[in-house]
Amino acid sequence: MIRPLLLCLVVLCAVLRAQPATALDRDAVVASACGPATAAAEAGRMIIDGVAQASADDLVWARQLIASALDRSLACPGGAAPLLSLRNRAAFETIAAELTLLAAPDPTARAGALKSLGRRPELVPAGVLDRAAAQEQDTALKAALAEFAALADLGSPDLARRGRAVARVADTPSTRAATQLAALTNDPAYRADAGFRATVDDAITRVGRGLMIGRVLATLYNGASFASILFMSAVGLAVIFGLMGVINLAQGEFIMIGAYGTWLVQQGLHAAAPGLAVWYLPIAVIPVFLATAGIGVLLEVGLVRHLYRRPLMSLLATWAVSLFLVNLVRVVFGTQNLQFDTPFYVQGGIAVIGDFIITWNRLFAIGFAALSLAGTWALLRHTPFGLSVRATTQNREMAACIGIATRQVDMLAFGLGSGLAGLAGLALSPLYNVNPQMGTNFVVDSFMVVVLGGVAALEGTVLAALGIGQLNVLVEPFYGAVAAKVIVLLLTIMFLQWRPEGLFALQGRRR
Amino acid sequence: MIAIDVAGLNVRFGAFRAITDLSLTIDYGEVHAIIGPNGAGKTTLLDVISGLTRPVSGRVTLDGARELTRLSDTAIARAGVRRKFQKPSVFMALSVGENLEIGGLGDASLIDETARLIGLADQLQRPAGTLSHGQKQWLEIGMVLAARPRVLMLDEPVAGLTDGETDLTAELIATLRGPDRAIVVVEHDMDFVERIADRVTVLHEGRTLFEGAMADARQDRQVIDVYLGR
Amino acid sequence: MTRLFAAVVAVLAAVAALIAVAPELLSPYLVNSAGQLAAFALLAVSLDLIWGYAGILSLGHGLYFAIGGYVVAMHLLKHGLAVTGRVPDFMQFMGWSEFPFYWAGFESFPYAAGLTVVLTLAMSGLFGFVSFRSRVGGVYFSIITQALVYVAMLLMFRNDTGFGGNNGMTGFSVIFGRDMADPFVSRMLAIGSIVILIAALLLCRRLVTSRVGRLVVACRDDEARLRSLGYGTLRLKLGIWCLSAVLAAVAGFLYVPQVGIINPRLLSPDVSLEIAVWVAIGGRGALSGAVIGAILVNGVKFWLSARAPELWPFILSGLVVLVVMAFPNGLLDLGRLRPRALKFLRPARGT
């Protein structure tokens, strides 16, 4: 009972105190602002010094005044607005940003102002920050303000306060924190005070470590998301290759069709059920899988089935299909990149450490691949269909003899592989460009996954996809995407010297 | 005299032990049959001798001097250890004569004689792909024979042949026998084995179960239990 | 078979003679097309040698074709610079005033020709050795060759490599000191291409009918059998592979001066696959089939590219499916269809 009452009282007091405190002498400010350079600088100081006590009304007014002074539309008693000196202009711009932070109604404007102030946090007076922190409602901005205040404290004359700020900055490692801390090593206090120096050095190490961890995690994360797409595309290739000895050169086009199917679902929802349009990604899963699997089954029945004793010819035939599909899509949809909505669930992410952010779009792809892996694994290991696939892979004649309908197994496996590639297209649509040629970007890497991983076990495909995905992402920042592909290829060829049948080979007598 | 000496051989495919501590010798002048149920390791043994499979441990020596497990399949063939595969493998697109020429490592002088030996002397121009199954088996034996090997290994030479063809094959093997040649035959046809073999080794689950004359093998309790049946 | 081969050689020789003797009968466009087709035919022959006879399908023969093409382009640019003082476009584009060091010596034609062979042998030899040694074959080999040509394309697309980047090289003005716009030069190029094609055909013919040729076929049909007869198949495959690569490089060397441009799109996997399509359509395992396939398919492509280029991919994919499904030996099957059709007719006539 007592506490809410007390709280009300405190709030009331604050309001009462704020209301009458018209600390800003508007006439004096205008007079100074219209005066010569030294006086104009004084006007700026008056506003800033008064910020802590000024009413909300005053802040709005002051913001307008500074804005007009900056664009020379200030109406002075003498008539013409004075020309700001370069130094005053810089000071006024800072003040304008500070006032925007305090008085702008739009949170994005306030965020923008905070960002522009971020370049020189030590110039922002503590009063401005305290007031901004007290009145800010937006959660994201509040957090940013707290971090900013910590940075600002780094420039504080009070060494103890500075030391605390240093430690606080080091708690959230970022590239900016590293720069700020590095700047402190040039500070006189760093040289003079051993304790402060130790604090700063320790903080620099911690931030450095954090950044390093962040970089490593970010690389692993990006690699994992690329590997996810590769896995989904390669697992179908591997199963089909193991089963029929056929490599489907149109696999990349199944990815492309999957992405286009996703786009069609999105457009269809916009037209038919705009309320659901934001959920187009999960809604598209089943139609995209069925459509690509269906096309895969058609391809198997119409073409590949007749060629599995002539695997080299099947390369040609599936290439012809890929050529046909690419050009068909080009004619129907055009060559430009498709525009996808980015629903909230694949937007943004959570910052973890350093510059590492778990972005939802990549997590979506990874999660998707993990589900596909689990599904495929369960299907191959724990269903009669999976048993038939494994049996036929190991010995087709024997499987046929014991009554497995090998033709049907081929057909379904081809459908499964194509469907998974289609889902890869769905999973990558929030990440990569979608156009008729997109298949080529993935297909060569997918082939290398099959070559590396072998066809005997799903584990091989998973490991190879992870390896090749990671390698691409690892090499790319240093030597470029092309070098990454070159290295992947060379390593694959070298690996084959050591294990010609891939990571996991079927064990047994050859021949 | 010992042609091939296999000692302490172990072969594994993953967790599966295809051959365990196998030791046996193959002598010049003999026809040595290797028999046993499916999966006993017969073909794997031939694979090791001909260099297609590398053992985990153990040695295979030729003439007591050359260690074969370190040589390539090509080098082993060049050393005079040659083999006919289980599945008849002749070069379908080439003629009988060309097949024999390749078998003889380019030495054309032996083609006619070899062709006579395998009964295909009048078929030299015929594409090998058009031969009957039995003729293909003989052609393959002929190809292996064309370079006059010292060790001749025949993997199921009469599988799928008619009785008449089997008889002819038995006669062929009898004429191939010589003091400078060791012949190894892997076969399931027991009567055929009894007709041609001087000695049999019965393999079971990668180990030697019995070694001796075929007639004795037929009496052996263990051999009957695991292989021949009652 | 042999008659067909003789007929193909005779027709080629006749075309070369016609260009030499009565050039006024043919338009410059036709002469140029004939020369380009001859280069393509040579490329097809090179692939047929390795695919049709050795059973090894390369989906990256564009790589060797491009080696020849790039080397000759570099020679022509350097030669042009020496004669006319014209600086290559890509140098101006990159703002370079000097050639990278590896452009040294390209003024010399013998150097360029020799380098084509050496470079091709080095590339194909190294790749062939590591692949064949580890017994990589069949579909694996095909997709690795495809990956190789794809990676080469990505490399050449980079502008900083000193090979013209994505614009490639063009603006060849002089060859052997003569103006390339001169119709005489274009006739000589066409005749030279056809003559080299004929020479390559005769050479390959000799090879495939020799004992080595029989070994190559034997290796295609059953490599393990051949090895167990005591043949080192590595050397055999490597030899035919390298020969095939060199022929492809020679084809590129002949092609680029006639088409007047080279860019990395020549290294696109689709281009390399198309070579296999020519061979498949013409008939695998017959040298004359490869020539016929390359000339027919490219003839149609040239003709269509002036009228309805957007139709070409659809026609090509349709052709491939048709050949693969109905005529596994390509047009050679059509030749064999005739007697069967006649057999059908004979009983109807009551004989």
- Per CB-CB distance under 8 Å, the chain A contacts of B47 are 509-511
> What is the tens place of the pLDDT at every residue in B170-199?
988 888 888 889 999 998 888 888 888 889
Q: What's the pLDDT at A164?
A: 77
- Per CB-CB distance under 8 Å, the chain B contacts of C227 are 72-74, 77
Residue from A312, A331, A497 to probe the interface with C (highest C Cβ count within 10 Å): A312
**A351 in Cβ contact with A365 (< 8 Å):** no
B108: pLDDT strictly greater than 90: no
Nearest to C279 by CA among C247, C309, C310: C247
Give the range with max mean pLDDT: B10-19, B42-51, C192-201: C192-201
Q: What's the pLDDT at A79?
A: 67
**C258 in Cβ contact with C186 (< 8 Å):** yes
Confidence of residue A105 (pLDDT cuts 50, 70, 90): confident
Q: What's the pLDDT at A4?
A: 57
CA distance A425 to A434: 9
Contact status of C282 with chain A (Cβ, < 8 Å) = no
Q: What is the CATH number of domain B32-48+72-228?
A: 3.40.50.300
Residue from B54, B73, B86, B153 to probe the interface with C (highest C Cβ count within 10 Å): B73
Contact status of C310 with chain A (Cβ, < 8 Å) = yes
Please tell me the distance in Å from B223's CA to the nearest CA on chain C: 32
> What is the tens place of the pLDDT at every residue in C177-211?
888 888 899 999 999 999 999 999 999 999 999 98
> What is the tens place of the pLDDT at every residue in A276-305?
888 999 899 999 999 999 999 999 999 988
Chain A contacts in chain C segment 24-53 (CB below 8 A) = 51
Confidence of residue B230 (pLDDT cuts 50, 70, 90): low
**Cross-chain Cβ contact B85/C228 below 8 Å:** yes
Q: What's the pLDDT at B117?
A: 85
Long-range contacts of C114-118 (CB under 8 A, 24+ apart): C115/C71, C116/C67, C116/C68, C116/C71, C116/C72, C116/C249, C116/C250, C116/C253, C117/C246, C117/C249
Least confident span in A35-49, B88-102, C125-139: A35-49
Per-residue exposure over C340-351, b if at least 16 CB sit within 10 Å of its own CB, e if not: eeeeeeeeeeee
**C56 in Cβ contact with C237 (< 8 Å):** yes
C23: pLDDT strictly greater than 90: no
Please tell me the distance in Å from C146's CA to the nearest CA on chain A: 8
**Cross-chain Cβ contact A489/C148 below 8 Å:** yes
Residue from C229, C234, C284 to probe the interface with B (highest B Cβ count within 10 Å): C229
What average pLDDT does this structure show over A24-38? 77
Please tell me the distance in Å from B14's CA to the nearest CA on chain A: 6
Confidence of residue A261 (pLDDT cuts 50, 70, 90): very high
**A98 in Cβ contact with A48 (< 8 Å):** yes
**C90 in Cβ contact with C34 (< 8 Å):** no
Cβ-Cβ pairs closer than 8 A, B with C, add up to: 64
Contact status of A510 with chain B (Cβ, < 8 Å) = yes
Q: What's the pLDDT at C314?
A: 93
- Please name the member of A317, A450, A496 whose beta carbon is closest to the beta carbon of C134: A496
Contact status of B52 with chain A (Cβ, < 8 Å) = yes
The chains found to touch C (3+ Cβ pairs under 8 angstroms) are A, B
Q: What's the pLDDT at A15?
A: 47
> What is the tens place of the pLDDT at every residue in A124-171?
777 777 788 778 877 778 877 777 777 777 777 777 777 777 887 777
A348: pLDDT strictly greater than 70: yes
Amino acid C186 reads S
Q: What's the pLDDT at A510?
A: 46
Amino acid A435 reads N
Q: What's the pLDDT at A21?
A: 45
A499: pLDDT strictly greater than 90: no
- Please name the member of C214, C224, C232 whose beta carbon is closest to the beta carbon of B102: C214
C58 to chain A: nearest residue by CA? A312
Chain C contacts in chain B segment 157-176 (CB below 8 A) = none
Contact status of C229 with chain B (Cβ, < 8 Å) = yes
> What is the tens place of the pLDDT at every residue in C68-121?
999 999 999 999 988 888 888 888 878 888 888 888 889 899 999 999 999 999
Contact status of B108 with chain C (Cβ, < 8 Å) = no
The chains found to touch A (3+ Cβ pairs under 8 angstroms) are B, C
CA distance C289 to C227: 30
**Cross-chain Cβ contact C228/B50 below 8 Å:** yes
DSSP letter (8 states) at residue B40: S
Mean confidence (pLDDT) of chain A: 82
Chain A contacts in chain B segment 15-34 (CB below 8 A) = 16, 18
- Per CB-CB distance under 8 Å, the chain C contacts of B91 are 217-218, 221-222, 225-226
Contacts of residue B116, Cβ cutoff 8 Å, sequence gap at least 6: none
* Residues, chain A: 511
DSSP notation for A458-496? HHHHHHHHHHHHHHHHHHHHHHHHHHHHHHHHHHHHHHH
C227 to chain B: nearest residue by CA? B74
DSSP notation for A12-39? HHHHHHHTT-----HHHHHHHHHS-HHH
CA distance C319 to C300: 12
Give the range with max mean pLDDT: A79-88, A320-329, A375-384, B91-100: A320-329
Instruction: ipTM value, please give it.
Output: 0.89
Of chain C, the percentage scoring pLDDT greater than 70 comes to 95
A511 to chain C: nearest residue by CA? C224
Architecture of the domain defined by A216-498 = Orthogonal Bundle (1.10)
**C236 in Cβ contact with C216 (< 8 Å):** yes
Contacts of residue A485, Cβ cutoff 8 Å, sequence gap at least 6: A444, A445, A472, C150, C151, C154
A402: number of Cβ within 10 Å:
9
- Per CB-CB distance under 8 Å, the chain C contacts of A321 are 317, 321
> What is the tens place of the pLDDT at every residue in B191-225?
888 888 889 998 888 888 888 888 888 888 888 88
- Please name the member of B14, B52, B87 whose beta carbon is closest to the beta carbon of A510: B52
**A317 in Cβ contact with A440 (< 8 Å):** no
**Cross-chain Cβ contact B90/C228 below 8 Å:** no
User: Which is more confident, A43 or C143?
Assistant: C143
CA distance A228 to A427: 9
B54 to chain A: nearest residue by CA? A509
**Cross-chain Cβ contact B87/A511 below 8 Å:** yes
Chain A contacts in chain B segment 32-51 (CB below 8 A) = 43-44, 47
A78: pLDDT strictly greater than 60: yes
**Cross-chain Cβ contact B102/C215 below 8 Å:** yes
Please tell me the distance in Å from C321's CA to the nearest CA on chain A: 6
CA distance A121 to A127: 13
**A34 in Cβ contact with A78 (< 8 Å):** yes
Confidence of residue C125 (pLDDT cuts 50, 70, 90): very high
User: Which is more confident, C128 or A100?
Assistant: C128
Mean confidence (pLDDT) of chain B: 87
CA quadruple C271, C276, C279, C280: dihedral sign? negative
**Cross-chain Cβ contact B18/A511 below 8 Å:** no
- Please name the member of B14, B44, B85 whose beta carbon is closest to the beta carbon of A507: B14
C241: pLDDT strictly greater than 60: yes
Say how many CA atoms lie within 13 Å of A288 toward its Cβ. 28
What backbone torsions phi and psi does residue C237 show, to the nearest 5 degrees? -65, -40
User: Which is more confident, A309 or B126?
Assistant: B126
